[in-house]
Amino acid sequence: MLTPKSADKCMRTLFWGAGLFILALLAAFLIYLLAKGLPHLTPAFLFGKSSDIMAGGGIGGQLFNSFYLLLLSMVISLPLAVGAGIYLAEYARETYLTKAIRLSVESLATVPSIVLGLFGMILFTTQLHLGFSIAAGALTLVLLNLPMLVRVTEEAIRTVPATYEEASIALGATKWQTICRVVLPAAAPGIMTGVTLTAGRVLGETAILIFTAGTTTSRFLFDPDVTAGGETLAVHLWYLMSAGLVPDREAISDGIGATLILAILLFNLLLALPLRALSKRQG
Amino acid sequence: MTGRNNTTRTDAKSWHRRQLFFDKAGAYGVIACSVLMTILLFSIIFFVGRQGLLTFQAVSPIDFFFSAKWEPTAGAFGAASFLAGSLLTTLVAILLGAPLGLAGAIYLAQVAPPAIKKILRPAVDLYVAIPSVVYGYMGLTLLLPFLRDNLGLPSGFGIFSAGVVLAIMIFPTVLSLSADAIHAVPSPLEEGSIALGATWWQTLRHITLPAAAPGITTGIILAMARAVGETMAVEMLIGNTPQLATSLFQPTATLTSNIVVEMGNTPFGSAWGNSLFLMAFVLLILSLFLILLVRHFSARKEAA
Amino acid sequence: MFFKKTMLLAGAALLSASALLFTGCGGGAAGTDAGLSGKISASGSTALLPLLKPAQEEFQNANKNVTVSIAGGGSFTGMNQVAEGSVDIGNSDVDLPEEYKDKGLVDHKVVVEPFVFIVDKENPVKNLTKQQAIDILTGKITNWKDVGGSDQKITLIHRAKSSGSRATIQAVVLGSASFTDDAIIQDSNGAVRTAISTTPGSIGYVDAPYADDSVKVLAYDGVEFNAQNIIDGKYMLYGYGHMYTKGEPTGAVKAFLDYVLSDAFQNSQVEKLGFIPVNKMKK
């Protein structure tokens, strides 16, 4: 029979084990992916045009498309998501409408990405004649982003202490002023964390984009034309593995894996630093 | 002097009016944003459902759901093996992934020293950021050979391999949401328990975890939804064979894997193409059902 | 509103692109038609992508005012979209099925796609007779020792029921017999190759260009796979790559098809990739 004290110790050890296992597994993944990929990351590879026959092609177009799609989909979804998050956290009373909205957000979050891909294919690619393009891909990605962003925004707003708002209202500010000047700035770090998380998923998304953004890039590197093909890094990785014929496809796949990991790391770092400064200032 | 005072007053008045207008417009704006969510969900249900339900012109619902005979060229559309494959794979993934996620969440929230906490949070986010294609590829090149060499399997493709890789992909969801839920438990509750002489583990088990249960359940359900809907990694590891699996190590197929494998090569609008949309619709209904299930449970808990 | 913006962006992109072309890469290939302009869109077979993407690049270099975009999606996606008019060309590995016979599609056979049976490199078997192949594919033979190999279970790894490659093997090898369902299915040539190279005792078939040195190619019915044997009609495992247009092609689309069928392209790129030029086949 375990005494409560030794049970305590036992469980603590167990949780240490779980925590360290999680870290060790990630470290193993990262070392594996980076060790294989980093040697290929030359400027010529990162910013060169991809090739289908000759070895030595780059991933410039795909790299650009990845971030372009991310940017476009975020620009569309962030305002909508913040709006809905504000409503759910600040305005919503428990009416049927609110219940329906909350249920919709939760349901949207669980819609499998392949279903979103098929939906995007019927609606944007075929019926709206956008074709396999950056526009169709970005619009479909919005559907992936929205529920995650809404949930994060709502949570971030809820964690803002009520006293902040009460003080602002007591000073005679309208609700909207309070939201814009007090609540949102205080919730910004939380929202930005959500953006980073969502960005990570968008950069790695494949199933949605195969059916909407397609597997080709524009004829020009760094082309902002939204009707051009929008093959991203993750899709290119999939394409190389399933249909690629270039002799150096393994090197390119490894390079893409490392690039994606580095991109996410950089993203986290770039966003985390100003956020830390911000939250320090707010105390 | 007075004139100037007047203008400031009218300025202030119109400024005030403008603020009131913004207040109202803002409220309507955010309501519109929220209603959009509902509209989006319904349009997805409508578009995918309409295309999918056309299947029943050619196939009887009983055949679709209860037959495992998938011979589209011969007119047999039995999706039972895909349904079973999706459910079993998800089950394996949750059984492996949820305990790991929960243990990691407890570690993150209560056990880890601050230095490790700082690394662990972003580390967990990084797991989510690894593309599913990469997970699938690692499964194909690392996990399958390992299973073959150690368990003497002919190929290693099947529910187990897909479930293991899925577990790694979904535990971060359980971890983040559970950690948030544990953090959100009011500390006086825990302090009270400790003050009454309970140990840390007793407090965690009897006070903190029950209080955080709704959040943890949400995490597990969302992870389940991710597992059911995950496509690329599963497709690379499940074997994609339309046969009912009799063991965890036998190749079978899931709804998602079959959609992605056959979609590009089936005529849109044919019974075959429609049946793939019907599978997508089933996935959709399945995830809606999961959400309703959570609601049901958390409502009962609150009532009790 | 959105479309206007899209058009504007597209216009801007085109302008900057043409400026770039003027200053950048002068001197197109000889014998090109400078008068051509427009956009060509194609989608469909992923197996044809590695062939058509280089064609797209070369053709665009020769015709500065034409933009070609080629997407994958699968043979039926291509045939479906060209029948609906959302793309100009549908690429397919299969002959036109019944559903599309009345859609006014015109068939252009552009390349010969040979198939090969591949096994993992450790397998000692070198050849399969037609009957042996049938018995393995139908699940009648399940051990390599029955076809002269070692005592090892046969793992069949091949393509989905909707695949064009599978349809070709069905027609050429199986005839009226049907595939066993006890097999592992992968969604592409590349995935089949990867799975076979890592699974001892496995066998499958891929488009010949995908059989690299990570797998071992089997002779079929005593005939080695090579281009000459196909041209001579000895090696029977092959199908045609098709490009379908709605009605007879005109303008830029016709020029592009002509380019793909031209000797310049067929005799250089096609062979380099491991396909066989369609003009070499004896009718």
Which pLDDT value is given to residue A279? 61
- Tell me which residue range forms the domain holding A254: 42-282
The most confident of A73-77, B18-22, B287-291, C262-266, by mean pLDDT:
A73-77
* Segment A91-105 mean pLDDT: 84
* Segment A104-127 mean pLDDT: 85
Q: Where are the domains of chain C?
A: 2-111+240-280, 114-231
More confident residue, C15 or A258: A258
CA distance A138 to A142: 6
List phi, psi (to 5°) of B24. -70, -45
Any chain B CB within 8 A of the CB of A249?
A: no
The most confident of A89-98, B227-236, C44-53, by mean pLDDT:
B227-236
CA distance C210 to B192: 67
Least confident stretch, A22-36, A66-80, B231-245: B231-245
Q: Helices in chain B by DSSP H: which ranges?
A: 2-53, 61-66, 80-106, 114-129, 132-138, 144-151, 159-184, 187-195, 200-203, 209-229, 232-237, 255-262, 271-303
- C-alpha distances (whole Å) from C20 to each of A216, A226, B83, B233, C16 are 21, 18, 53, 41, 6
Any chain C CB within 8 A of the CB of A240?
A: yes
Q: How many helices and strands (H and E) does chain A possess?
A: 12, 0
Eight-class DSSP state of B246: S
Which pLDDT value is given to residue C24? 35
Q: Name the band, by pLDDT with cuts 50, 70 and 90, for residue A273.
A: low
Mutation pick from C20, C41, C69 vs chain A, by most beta carbons of A within 10 Å, is C69
On whether the CB atoms of residues A149 and A82 are closer than 8 A, the answer is yes
Which pLDDT value is given to residue B298? 65
Closest alpha carbon within chain C to A246: C50
Residue A1 lies in a domain: no
Residues of chain C with pLDDT below 50 are: 1-33
Residue A20 lies in a domain: no
Q: Which residues of C touch A207 (CB under 8 A)?
A: none
Q: Is residue B96 predicted with pLDDT exceeding 50?
A: yes
pLDDT in tens, B97-145: 999 999 999 999 999 999 998 888 888 878 877 888 889 888 888 888 8
CA distance B240 to B184: 42
Q: Which amino acid is at B164?
A: V
Q: Is residue B182 predicted with pLDDT exceeding 70?
A: yes
Which of B20, B107, B277 shows the shortest C-beta gap to A15? B107
Which of C72, C153, C198 shows the shortest C-beta gap to B144? C198
Tell which residue, B168, B46, B188, B7, has the closest CA to residue B97: B168
Which pLDDT value is given to residue A283? 45
Q: Fold for domain B62-303?
A: MetI-like fold (1.10.3720)
On whether the CB atoms of residues C243 and C260 are closer than 8 A, the answer is yes
Tell which residue, B26, C127, C254, has the closest CA to residue C136: C127
More confident residue, A225 or B238: B238
* Segment B154-164 mean pLDDT: 89
CATH number at residue A182: 1.10.3720.10
Residue B45: half-sphere exposure toward Cβ, Cα within 13 Å = 15
Tokens of B299: 């409502």
Which pLDDT value is given to residue A267? 79
Q: What is the ipTM of this complex?
A: 0.83
Q: Where are the domains of chain B?
A: 2-57, 62-303
Eight-class DSSP state of A39: G
**Taking CA A13 as the corner, what is the angle to CA A10 and CA A14, rounded to the nearest 5 degrees?**
85
Closest alpha carbon within chain B to A127: B47
Closest Cα in chain B, distance from residue C180 (Å): 10
3-state DSSP assignment of residue B112: coil
Which pLDDT value is given to residue C209? 85
Which pLDDT value is given to residue A76? 94
Tell me whether residue A161 is exposed, middle or buried, using C-beta atoms within 10 angstroms of its C-beta: 0 to 12, 13 to 18, 19 or more.
Answer: exposed
Across the interface, whether the CB atoms of C160 and B155 are under 8 A apart is answered no
Which pLDDT value is given to residue C22? 36
User: Would you tell me which CATH number, out of the four given (3.40.50.2300, 3.40.50.1220, 3.30.460.80, 3.40.190.10), belongs to the domain C2-111+240-280?
Assistant: 3.40.190.10
User: Would you tell me which CATH number, out of the four given (3.20.20.370, 3.90.600.10, 3.40.190.10, 3.30.70.580), belongs to the domain C114-231?
Assistant: 3.40.190.10
Which pLDDT value is given to residue A174? 85
On whether the CB atoms of residues C99 and C92 are closer than 8 A, the answer is no
Q: Is residue B82 predicted with pLDDT exceeding 90?
A: yes
More confident residue, C110 or A107: C110
More confident residue, C156 or A269: C156
pLDDT in tens, B288-299: 888 887 777 666
Which pLDDT value is given to residue A250? 82
CA distance C229 to C207: 16
Number of domains composing chain A: 1
- Mean pLDDT score across all residues of chain B: 86
Residue A9 lies in a domain: no
Closest alpha carbon within chain C to A249: C190
pLDDT in tens, C257-271: 999 998 888 888 888
What pTM does this model have? 0.83
CA distance A89 to A156: 9
CA dihedral sign, ordered C160, C161, C164, C170: positive
Q: Name the band, by pLDDT with cuts 50, 70 and 90, for residue A8.
A: confident
On whether the CB atoms of residues A221 and A49 are closer than 8 A, the answer is yes
Closest alpha carbon within chain A to C192: A242
Tell me whether domains C2-111+240-280 and C114-231 share a fold. Answer: yes
- Mean pLDDT score across all residues of chain A: 85
Residue A59 lies in a domain: yes
Instruction: Please name the residues between 50 and 69 in chain A that touch chain B, using a CB distance below 8 Å.
Output: none
Q: Determine how β-strand C238-246 pairs with β-strand C89-92.
A: antiparallel
